Amino acid sequence: MRAAVIVFPGSNCDRDLAVALEAAGIETTMVWHKDTALPEGTDLVGVPGGFSYGDYLRCGAIAATSPVIGAVIRHAERGGYVLGVCNGFQILTETGLLPGALLRNAGLKYICRTVPLTVGTADSVFTAGYAAGERIDVPIAHHDGNYIADAGTLDRLEGEDRVAFRYGDNPNGSVRDIAGILSENRRVLGMMPHPERAADRGHGGTDGQRLFAHLTAAMDPA
Amino acid sequence: MKARVHVMLKDGVLDPQGEAVRHALGAMGFDGVDGVRQGKVIELDLADGTSEARIAEMCERLLANTVIESYRIETL
């Protein structure tokens, strides 16, 4: 089981994500955004949180055009796993790998605190360690986490059981309380909350740990 | 040649920043401001003869996120 964590200029959760993956027994390599290929045998790509390219133009917009993203898209298209957290989720929507977009928080403020989430589905390698409907606590830290998509897309996401996480107490205005969504093949997950910041007892909570712990057992090779 | 690209949130997409500006104007005593939408203007310095189709491609692929934003191209 091998993971590659992409490092953009301005990424700041890349090492945390790698630590959480390694702790779950997944061999993890950091990949610079100027690389045009992923390491041989990569099963999972982690797109980390942060402020890639200073959030210039729109959060994630410039990162979505970086050299490595072509390789990430090809990896996803051949059925590889991708996990995008926070800025990583924004980048995945900008690439089109996930539908919708993330707008400025409805309250206009940057929010950094642990929030309650409800697990929307256990039907993915990322959420199989949870029970659907289970309540967990995971930190958020973002200014632009207000998820939006058109009604048709939202109905489809819900109809296909692709809402991975919902906010218990919507902090940012996200439509239908959406905190994380899955791709059509359920192998790409984008989420604003940071599971890697709730993956060790030293973090004050370990509800994010199961997301990583379950991956090794569950991933099929792409 | 130069072109100016106006990027706005689409109608129907709530603009929290525009709303905050509207509230501030009201608080300052500017009555009758019923709505504020905040967008961005991007000025491009282009090789002569760049077609509008080419600029539209730049908008579609990078300058605007057409999931939430609309754009208008003005060649100068």
pLDDT digit string, tens, across residues B7-66: 999 988 989 889 999 999 999 999 999 999 999 999 999 999 999 999 999 999 999 999
Mean pLDDT of A2-19: 97
Is the predicted pLDDT of residue A24 greater than 70, yes or no? yes
Domains of chain A in start order, with CATH, are 2-218 (3.40.50.880)
pLDDT digit string, tens, across residues B50-67: 999 999 999 999 999 999
Mean pLDDT of A181-192: 98
Is the predicted pLDDT of residue A221 greater than 70, yes or no? no
Query: For chain A, what percent of residues have pLDDT higher than 70?
Result: 99
pLDDT digit string, tens, across residues A46-78: 999 999 999 999 999 999 999 999 999 999 999
CATH 3.30.1280.10, domain B2-75, yes or no: yes
Mean pLDDT of A20-48: 97
Half-sphere exposure of B15 (CA within 13 A, CB side): 20
Task: At A68, give phi and psi (nearest 5°).
Answer: -70, -20
- The reported pTM is 0.94
pLDDT digit string, tens, across residues A139-166: 999 999 999 999 999 999 999 999 999 9
Q: Nearest Cα to A169, choosing from A179, A182, A180?
A: A179
Question: What is the spatial distance between Cα B12 and Cα B66, in angstroms, rounded to a whole number?
Answer: 13
Mean pLDDT of A19-41: 97
CB contact under 8 A, A61 and B62: yes
Q: What is the pLDDT of residue A127?
A: 97
Q: What is the mean pLDDT of chain A?
A: 96
Beta bridge partners of A27: A2
Q: What is the pLDDT of residue A219?
A: 72
Please, which pLDDT band fits residue B68 given cuts at 50, 70 and 90? very high
- A203 part of the active site: no
Is the predicted pLDDT of residue A195 greater than 80, yes or no? yes
Is residue A111 within 8 angstroms of chain B, CB to CB? Answer: no
Is the predicted pLDDT of residue A220 greater than 70, yes or no? no
**Pick the catalytic residue: A86, A94, A203, A214?**
A86
CB contact under 8 A, B62 and A146: no
Interface of B with A in 49-68 (CB under 8 A): 61-63, 65, 67-68
A108 φψ region: left (φ > 0), alpha (ψ -120 to 50), beta (else)? left
- A86 part of the active site: yes
Q: What is the pLDDT of residue B23?
A: 93
Q: Which residue of B has its CA nearest to A62?
A: B62
Q: Which residue of B has its CA nearest to A61?
A: B62
Q: What is the pLDDT of residue A222?
A: 56
CB contact under 8 A, B65 and A65: no
- A194 part of the active site: yes
Nearest CB among A107, A108, A148 relative to B68 is that of A148
Q: Nearest Cα to A46, choosing from A75, A76, A83, A85?
A: A83
Please, which pLDDT band fits residue A1 given cuts at 50, 70 and 90? confident
Q: List the domain boundaries for chain B.
A: 2-75
Is residue B5 within 8 angstroms of chain A, CB to CB? Answer: no
pLDDT digit string, tens, across residues A70-106: 999 999 999 999 999 999 999 999 999 999 999 999 9
Q: What is the pLDDT of residue A77?
A: 97
